[in-house]
Every structure is written in C-alpha cells, then in structure tokens.
Structure 1
Amino acid sequence: MSYFTFILSLLNPVYALIFSITGSIKRSSNYLVLSSFALAFALISFSIKPLVELDLYRHYIRIENLLGLSFNKVLDTTDTGYLLFDIYAWLIINLGFPKQIFTASIIFISYMLVLSVYKDIKSNYLQHVRLSTIAVSFLIFWLSIDFVLLSSGIRSIFSNIIVFYVSYYLIFNSRFLLFIFGVILAFFIHPGSLVPSLLISVAILSHRIINKPKIFVIIGLVLIVGSSIVYNIIEFISSYLVGFSFYSPAYLSQDNTSSGAGSLQARNLNGIFGDFIIARLPGYIAFFYLLLLKNRSKDPLYLTLCLGVLYLGLFFQYFTIYERFNSFFVLLFSLFIILEYSREPNNFNKLFIIFFSSSLVIYSIFNLFRYYSYLSSAVEVLYKPLLLIVFNI
C-alpha cells in the first residue's frame, strides 16, 4: 500500500493525501508514506501566489535578484541571518529551477523532520496504545506545523523545526554533535533560533539541579497578567541588546505597531481575537497543563517548556518575538503531551490532549478562512498533475 501511495503522490500528492494519512496512523509506517504526505504540502506551497504583505513575496524578489550574481558577490552582500538562504536560493535560481522550488523543498524538509520525530515516537512509545491514540498523535504533530506561517515566512519556523528535531535526539538519544550542527545550521537560517537553542542547552545543563521547574510557569503567567509593567522594564534592557543579530530593535519598539510592543494596542477587537486569542490558543492550553501538572524533576523536556512559558510571558505583548518562539514551543509541547498521555493515560491527560488537539484544529480552521485568498491561489493542485504544475504547463 505504501508503494501505491508513493506512486500516486508522484502523479499528484494531494490526491494521495487520504492514503498517506491512513498509512501514517498505522502502527508501522515507512518513510515512503510520510514523504507522500510531506510532498502534498510541498506542492501546495509551490503553487501558492504570495500576497504582497507577506514575507514570501519579498523572499521571491530577493531570490530573483540573485540571478546572474557571482557566488563571491552573494557572500559579500549577504547578512548573517540570510547566509544559507542566499546560498541555497542562488544555487536554485542560477541552475535554472523556478524560485518556487526554494519554498517547496523547505516545506518538504520541514514536514519530514517533524514526521521523523513522530515516527520515532510511535516506534518507541506508542506501540502498545490504541490506534485512536496514534491517530490523535499524528493529528497533533501535523497541525503543530503552522503551514501558513511556514510557507509565507520560511526562515523563522524552518530554523525552529531544525532545532526541534535535533533537540529531540539530544534529549532522548544524547546526540550532542547532531545538536551542535543543527543549532549552528538553524542560526544561519534565522538568528531567532538562538532562543530555543539556548533554552534547550540551559535545560540539558541544569535539569538535575532545578527540582521545581513549575516556578517558571507561575512567573511566566504573572508576567502575562502584568505585561504592561513588563514593557517598561524591557524598554530599559533593550538599550543593551542593540548590537545583537537575533532580534531587530523594531520588535521591541512601542512605535512599531505591526510587530513590536504596540501591536496589541494597535489591533481592533477582531485583530486581538485573531492574533492574541485564536493564534495563541494551543499555547494557552499548554500553559494551564504545565501549571496543573505535578512538578517533573530531572526532565530536560519539561524544564525547557517551563522556561518557554517564562520567555513567552516576558514577551507577551511583542507580537513577532512571541510568534517566532511560540512555533517552537507548540511543537515541543506536542511531543511532551503525547509522551505524557502514552505513559499515563489518565483522565487528566486525556482531557488536556483533547483540549490541545481541539485548539490546533480551531486555529487551523481559522487560518483557512483568514488566509483564504493566499491558500486558494494554489487551487491548481486540485486538478493538475504534479509535473504539469512544476513545469507550468
């Protein structure tokens, strides 16, 4: 069945999506099925026509500007956060491939990295659970990848997914060299990945001496309640951070109403509902779960999540900073709650896994309506074979 699914996906992976989903929730699924699933979203991203206000539109202009440049010229003019972006984009555009290959290949790799973790979790921890639990686990991993943000922004979430992947193998398999390589790679894709990389590193180094990590959750929630006071403190600290590459001063500016501290005040009721409630709903469910869960000592995964709540609480009003780390936090919490439920399938864990998966579904449906014009631009995937789309026939 996996070979049939893969062959069908080469014709049009969207048509094979139902088969790749059913194949992925079996107790034993191979990479052919998972790659068929990932290929469907890669094809959708290839077909999307980016809106002017999204990062993808600017990325495509940047890629087109690399055509005809020498490799040395690219290295001389690039920034740290665009180093690998520009090298890869330069290679694609100068080899004559369409610029959409850049996006589609990154989407494919991103899904495969997350699904590889899912496959490993299923093989090692979910073999004795019910198939319904495996199905919910797959749904959670699937929807924890924010397709809209990933396909429209590329760099930030892709770098976070790389850190998530190598962090999993660091925590569960002690793959230190893989972790070091991964976080360096992620940093040169987007310097913002330095935040989750540092939190994971702190958790690995200190999880044996911090016995009550829940205190960070409590502090983080207090910071959210007092977020207006926190702004004044951050305003003072930010003056010392200007020289670092992992953030733009605009993200900490009250005047920048699109991404900085003024983003909450600048939004109307619909904007607040969308950006500060629905988009963050999975994270809020995670906050309350970690608050109510019994303290876990000597658990680096749990400690990282607790530190993550502290970070998100600190930057609650800073839209872009919060959004970028939240994508990593949701992925990591997806892993954590699935493992918790597999170990202890009690009513508490069952209730929260229902809440969390439901919040991911709600957010995904919300994105379908909010970004309808963006997503519907890929309508050709519903009636065109893969090769006709790629070669624009």
Structure 2
Amino acid sequence: MEKRRVVITGLGTVNPTGNTVAESWAAIKAGRCGIAPITHFDTTGSRVTLAAEVKGFDPAARIDKREARKMARFTQFAVAAAREAMEDSGIDLEETDRSRFGTIISSGIGGLPTIEEEHTKGEQKGFDRVSPYFVPMSIGNMAAGQVAIRFGLKGICSCPTTACAGGTNAIGDAFHRVRDGYEDLMLCGGTESCISPLGVGGFTSMKALSTATDPARASIPFDAERGGFVMGEGCGVLILEELGHAQARGAKIYAEIVGYGSNCDAYHFTAPAPGGAGGAACMELALADGGVAPQQIGYINAHGTSTHLNDSCETAAIKSVFGTHAHKLAVSSTKSMTGHLLGGAGGVEGVFTALALYDGFLPATLNLRVPDPELDLDYIPNEGRAVQVDYAMSDSLGFGGHNACIVLKRWEG
C-alpha cells in the first residue's frame, strides 16, 4: 500500500498554562509556570503540596451543561480541546465522510477522582447508591468515545493506555492510520486528570513526586537538584489529515508528521532500561520510519520528567542515537511549565512541537539553574529561542517500559 503524506491541520488544548492553544502557547513562549499549591483537595499532612492544575476551566462554556455532568474531568478536557481543534481546522463536517474520520485519545488512569468519590459514597450510603454514570464516567476510553459521539466520527475509535507514553502513541497510531489509507482524518492526543488524594498519594508513596514547596524548584528537568515530577492535568489534541485532502479544502497546515516509533524496554515496571536503551531504539525506529537522518533533527521536546533516572537515561539515549550531533541540537522539557500530565503529556507536547515548527520558536526548560555535570546537552535553559528548525522530535517514556516517539517536519508549502 502506498504511504500517504500526513499533515497537522488543527490543534486544541486545555492545560495548566492555558485553556486554549493561543493562551497556552503565549505562556510557554513567555516562560510562565503552571505549578502552584494544590486546590483540588486538602493537602494537610501530605508530603506533596504542589501540582500543575488546570485553572479557571468552565466546562459549561464549551459543553452542554447536562452532558458535562455525565463526564469525568479528563473527558471534559478532551471534548473542550477537541472542539477547539475542530474549529481551528476549519473542517466542514457536513461535507466530510465521517466514516473515514477516526479518534484516538489516550488516558493513563481515566476517571480516578470519580472512582474515589463514588467509593466514598458507596461506603457511606451503600454501593447500590453510587451514580448510574459512575462506570461510563470513569473508564479510560470514554474521552475518545465522547469526542467521537460529539462530532459523529465513525472511523476507528481507540484509547491507548500505555501510561506516560499514551498521548504520543495515540498521535503515532493515528498518523499510521492516515498514512496507510484507513482514514483520511484523525483526531488524536491524550488527556488526564487525577490530581486527587489517591492519585497523588500513590505516586508520593513510590517516591516519584517532588516534595518541593517552591513552585520554581519543583519540576526542574535536567537540573542537578531535581527530585521527582510534579503531577499535572489537561489535554492536547491534534487533527491529522491526508495531505491531498487538506490541500483540496485549502486547510492551514502546522507541520507534517513523518515518522513514528513505538517499542518496549521489557526491563522493569517503573525504571527505564540502563542507558535509556529502549528509548534510544524507539527514537531510531521513528527516524527510520520517516526516512530522516539523525543530523536533520534540530529540536527534541523531551520526556524530561525531572526524576533522576528519566533525565539521565533520556540524555544517554539522545547521545546514543545522535552521536556528535547530540551537542548541536536543542532539547527542552515543557514539563518544567506544565508538570507531568501522564497519559495527556504526549498530546500536549505534540501540540507544542507542532507550534515550535510553525512559529519558529523553541520552548525553554524553565528553572534550570544548577547544571548536572552528567547532563551536558543544550537544554534551552530558562528562556526560549526564536529559532527555525526543519525537523523536530517528541518522545514519551512510560511505566511498563512503554516508549513512543514522533518526528515532525516543518511545512514549507
């Protein structure tokens, strides 16, 4: 089957730096951090008190109020971001074959806060009294399902649940669906909202989260003082479209997606393989899939979680794949501003990577103050750069050894 070209024609996001693409990208360019004290629950007695919450989000502004009440927060984010992406794309659904328009949206944990709330209600009032919407609100596939229902998208509808790699897997899987001719359009990305007592408590007990109390010293990827990630929430979605289909309707094109790799460390259920071997192999798969030479990559939106193991292994992986070019390309982690959105991370970072190419701007790794002698790449410390590159990569690495990587190309049409 002939491989078709695939372009990005719509973007949408709700994340800790802004509730629209324009608001969020302006914050990213300005280096504004979305981390603050947790407001979703009382953190008295908790070791972790900071998170990157979505602020001022009103689901009723973008979703019918009655329908919104039947959705968990992660699904509300997805429907809101999908609406923005659809409007941004200019697609006329009445003129579109919706049987060839699919949906792939990841979520790592789904409606965990809903599960907690309904369990508490069940213990207090009896489990036959939990909400009749409990199951369809909490299951992880429902963001994809509700988005497909909202827009009548009848192509494939799926939800990769591959932990922190899920959002990037969703984009890559959607890319291959369009490239290989199964659909003409895909709405794809990731969404998450589990800043809750159990969600934060679980990651705290495994010593994965930062216990810093200063938002400027909490999510600090590649910094020698990094001590864990900061939980974030939100959603990022992209519209992928076959090039000819996009050109026929005069669509705005942000970037072309050219390569995708996905594999597994098969090493440990939380720790990355030594030297980032699995991540390195995944990057090589993405480059090979796109026919892109390592030296063509100008920017990497790194997984960059701010944990000791991730940042050191990811740096080693980049050096392994790119050799001497590793010190010439720019690498940054936007998690320094958004926190770690788990299954939503790859979606939001996919949006940022597309915008980096479209806008000619490379985001910073914010609050990188104390260099780690073992980490010696160009991490774009503290201030972003107005630099135009031709190819960019976004990679995501998840618990269970899941790795996913996409390669984007600047659109020159």
Query: What TM-score does the superposition give when structure 1 sets the normalisation length?
Result: 0.30
Q: Highest CA radius of gyration, 1 or 2? A: 1
Greater RCO, CA 8 A, separation 6+: 2
Higher helix share: 1
Query: What TM-score does the superposition give when structure 2 sets the normalisation length?
Result: 0.29
Higher strand share: 2
